[in-house]
Structure 1
């Protein structure tokens, strides 16, 4: 088992390092490191983008949610499809703005679009905070796999620290292109693992077929296949599903690493092709939920009742060592590739949008060094948040989306409404966070909108405040508005393409 885990990890990371390429090594700049030289074509962009669909949240988090709650795991189907419908419209616009103005980070967009460098600092800090919460998902998953590989002889704290060190080492030595190549390897392995487990799982739990697993689960746990799930008193009803899925979909492309990913695309057309086809990826969630139901049928009991470990425990109990190793190794890559992108983006934001305004004379080499060093600090904070974490990966994900959702109204209004101002955006962010975090606000939502996702409520409050304050504050400069609205040379397909297409 341990040998198979090691082989899978070495394969993924080695191909990622090769993917970085000699050209990138010779040109070690922040642009090359952070946005892949803005030359990720359709295929490579597919894998780095799909890396956000298939992380350990998808495999361990959703299967664990299905094991513990049942139907609420359907959130994965809804949120992915809605996200790509929004991404089809939004991501090419982000790409165009990035090309036009040479933007590298999401906070660069805030500073340029609203004509306020100070707003870039605010957006950078909010983005870093949300990314650190998101890194927790990868560290929780990696630590579970580390413990499995070492036979449970390691404490949770030590496993989390080892997971963080491995993640930092990978992204420190590589960059976005390496993460993209590693994502390609882990996506292929993920499909192999899901097909292998789905094809054999019925026989492991005494079912006649895949569909029979669902029938048996419903008989053993009435209501598991419909909302609110196994527990009739759970708040995870239809309203929770709709508001949570909408909150994830609206916040998804606002995450700084996905903004950065859009900048890295070779063309707007490459982005749209991905947005059309990648919702098909969400169909694999059917099999992941199936595995969660099968684990419940098998009477799987992960240590301390940790739902995040339900699938790993089920595979460990029912499958031979080489399958356990394949699943664990693939899970390692599922966390490593996305986690590396999250840390890389945090470092880029800190360097360009927090340190940069204070040290305008920072050289490319110094900026790259600051980015890499700052990631160590962010990794340490993520470790501190992760140690002792017992919540589900789905809950952590929703916390992260609630935080980044405070930037969503500004992003959408930045492309839709020329009148949006920096002061309006700041007011919206501040009031939105109050609506999300203040105890009195939580009490109000719990009383009047008990089934609603709090992040979506706070996002709506943020939106209204941003609009109202923008109406009574001075208009932003026209050159700033043009970042999100005017067409320019950057909208034309890159030189050497087969046709000059305007991605309007």
Structure 2
């Protein structure tokens, strides 16, 4: 564009073709596994509750491994922070965890027709108030997550030259508006089927691009040994030249791996806290509840670690970009590292494929997140408080409208705030969403927790986590400057979400026996023990609603 970066006609043409392809797939998805009607949340919001192992693998993988993941993880390593590798072990830790609890959530949700995690909490604890705070927490944590898909898209559009340097924000971000308008249109018409179908293209492109990048680019740079030597030498030079600033705490040392004990605690707590939080997000649970049976969930828990292998390869591209001498602007913007690496190292036609992979990698999770947020609003706020007599058609209509509002709200969120602020604010997502774990996960195993104790623990965890995160500063901003803060009484940096969660759990465990001793009324449990082990085909379980053709 005029005044901006040069535009490669070949790269843009390839990108446009692939974007057009997924747009056609998005609108066609309404006829894929056609339902009699899309006018209910089971169909529009959960894809008919009938996805098999193959579809679910792409859908859940496309849901969890977002465009910002593909930008941020290697960017962190490019910036010299080896703690960024935490993303690899956390995605390994999470799957044994979900293997244990998600089949139980699937069973009780299909038995009672629950659409959201807040539906389950409401039924389990007999408390609309507790369900409401779980829903609001999910909405709060999801919004910046959607916004960050846009940040990832903006970075790619900038490298492609499709963003001008116009002072008019509408002209500057017009390509972004167009992409999200298209996303909003086919999500509105096709619901969860759209990202499920597009996920096939998205994941295939991502695998192709990363595997080619991890083989082809190092071969042009003298091999992996030369890459690691170049990175280590660069880090040693930086640490030597900035020794005084590092000693004073004004700069962080750069390293290939976390060396100091403080860095290791930060690494471990980020991995554990993120693993516990990942499947508390509404969009993660939406993908799981769309599956056909408990067996599908277990199979996917065993198969999804393949994405962790991909993520490990992707993280290493941050070091490849360093060794390749990628320029990321002045002041430096590490988020540009991977798109610029593709621009510098790939032929124009394959760079277009890589750009499309990242952009489509943003559209799939953004669609699922907006659907999950719409389901929360519709079931746990609109139906629970505003229109208790809402019909399934009313619910579907409301969810479609809210999904549009959520998308464009996230778009305005990114455009109105600085990118640095938006990125760091997303780190609060893990702080917030982890506070729903006692209500959801512990609630799947025991009803011992008193509902008011769970609510109090949630409030304490939310308040502590938000206040502490607000007080974290960084060189670029005064508040919400990062996910780490010293563990109380120590100087050891720990992921704020994990500390807040421990405080939350202590409050719940201490208050529960006190409230029971005081005979404070507890809610009525709408579930029964056998509800947590039923499977597809058992009496009373919601069957696949959409299609006569089984998809495995």
Query: Could you state the TM-score of these two structures normalised by the residue count of structure 1?
Result: 0.89
The answer to whether 1:362 aligns with 2:369 is no
Instruction: State the alpha-carbon separation in 1 of the partners of residues 112 and 178 from structure 2.
Output: 39
What is the CA-CA distance between 1:444 and the residue it aligns to? 7.2
Q: Structure 2: any 5+ residue segments left out of the alignment?
A: 1-10, 239-252, 472-484, 545-552
Instruction: State the alpha-carbon separation in 1 of the partners of residues 313 and 392 from structure 2.
Output: 46
Instruction: State the alpha-carbon separation in 2 of the partners of residues 348 and 391 from structure 1.
Output: 29
The answer to whether 1:276 aligns with 2:302 is yes
Q: 1:45 is matched with which residue?
A: 56
Q: Which shifted more, 61-70 or 425-434? A: 61-70
Q: 1:317 is matched with which residue?
A: 344
Q: 1:372 is matched with which residue?
A: 400
8 Å CA contact 1:112–1:480 kept in 2: the answer is: yes
Deviations 1:160-180 (A, max 9, x none): 544543432332222112211
Q: Classify 1:434/1:105 alpha carbon distance in 2 versus 1 (closer, same or farther; 3 Å).
A: same
What is the CA-CA distance between 1:336 and the residue it aligns to? 0.3
What is the CA-CA distance between 1:50 and the residue it aligns to? 1.0
Instruction: State the alpha-carbon separation in 1 of the partners of residues 271 and 315 from structure 2.
Output: 17
The answer to whether 1:171 aligns with 2:198 is no
Instruction: State the alpha-carbon separation in 1 of the partners of residues 78 and 288 from structure 2.
Output: 35
Matches within 5 A, 1:435-474: 435-438=464-467, 445=487, 448-473=490-515, 474=520
Q: 2:37 is matched with which residue?
A: 27
2:108 to 92, 97, 101: 97
Instruction: State the alpha-carbon separation in 1 of the partners of residues 114 and 469 from structure 2.
Output: 39
The answer to whether 1:18 aligns with 2:32 is no
8 Å CA contact 1:436–1:455 kept in 2: the answer is: yes
1:184 to 200, 221, 224: 200
The answer to whether 1:60 aligns with 2:62 is no
Q: 1:433 is matched with which residue?
A: 462
C-alpha root-mean-square deviation of aligned residues, in Å? 3.0
8 Å CA contact 1:235–1:451 kept in 2: the answer is: no
What is the CA-CA distance between 1:143 and the residue it aligns to? 2.0
How many aligned residue pairs are there?
493
Deviations 1:399-450 (A, max 9, x none): 2111111111221220222212221221111111111122599587476354
Q: 2:235 is matched with which residue?
A: 221
SS of the residue corresponding to residue 236 of structure 2 reads coil
Matches within 5 A, 1:474-485: 474=520, 476=522, 479-480=525-526, 482=528
Q: Classify 1:143/1:115 alpha carbon distance in 2 versus 1 (closer, same or farther; 3 Å).
A: same
2:226 to 185, 201, 212: 212
Q: 2:481 is matched with which residue?
A: none
2:86 to 51, 75, 78: 75
Matches within 5 A, 1:179-328: 179-204=195-220, 206-207=221-222, 209-222=223-236, 229=255, 237-303=263-329, 304-328=331-355
* Larger Rg over CA atoms: 2
Instruction: State the alpha-carbon separation in 1 of the partners of residues 191 and 349 from structure 2.
Output: 31
Instruction: State the alpha-carbon separation in 1 of the partners of residues 342 and 469 from structure 2.
Output: 44
8 Å CA contact 1:72–1:229 kept in 2: the answer is: no
Structure with greater proportional helix content = 1
What is the CA-CA distance between 1:488 and the residue it aligns to? 4.6
Q: Which shifted more, 79-88 or 473-482? A: 473-482
SS of the residue corresponding to residue 452 of structure 1 reads strand
Q: 2:435 is matched with which residue?
A: 406
Deviations 1:266-300 (A, max 9, x none): 01111101101211321122321222111111221
Instruction: State the alpha-carbon separation in 2 of the partners of residues 440 and 289 from structure 1.
Output: 26
Matches within 5 A, 1:384-423: 384-387=412-415, 388-391=417-420, 395=424, 397-423=426-452
SS of the residue corresponding to residue 351 of structure 1 reads helix
What is the CA-CA distance between 1:257 and the residue it aligns to? 1.4
Deviations 1:90-113 (A, max 9, x none): 111111111111011121111111
Instruction: State the alpha-carbon separation in 2 of the partners of residues 481 and 268 from structure 1.
Output: 18
Q: Classify 1:242/1:484 alpha carbon distance in 2 versus 1 (closer, same or farther; 3 Å).
A: farther
SS of the residue corresponding to residue 420 of structure 1 reads coil
Instruction: State the alpha-carbon separation in 1 of the partners of residues 146 and 257 from structure 2.
Output: 29
What is the CA-CA distance between 1:211 and the residue it aligns to? 4.3
What is the CA-CA distance between 1:22 and the residue it aligns to? 5.4
Q: Classify 1:86/1:393 alpha carbon distance in 2 versus 1 (closer, same or farther; 3 Å).
A: farther
Instruction: State the alpha-carbon separation in 2 of the partners of residues 483 and 262 from structure 1.
Output: 21
The answer to whether 1:353 aligns with 2:376 is no
Q: Classify 1:95/1:5 alpha carbon distance in 2 versus 1 (closer, same or farther; 3 Å).
A: same
8 Å CA contact 1:223–1:229 kept in 2: the answer is: no
Q: Structure 1: any 5+ residue segments left out of the alignment?
A: 497-504
8 Å CA contact 1:64–1:311 kept in 2: the answer is: yes
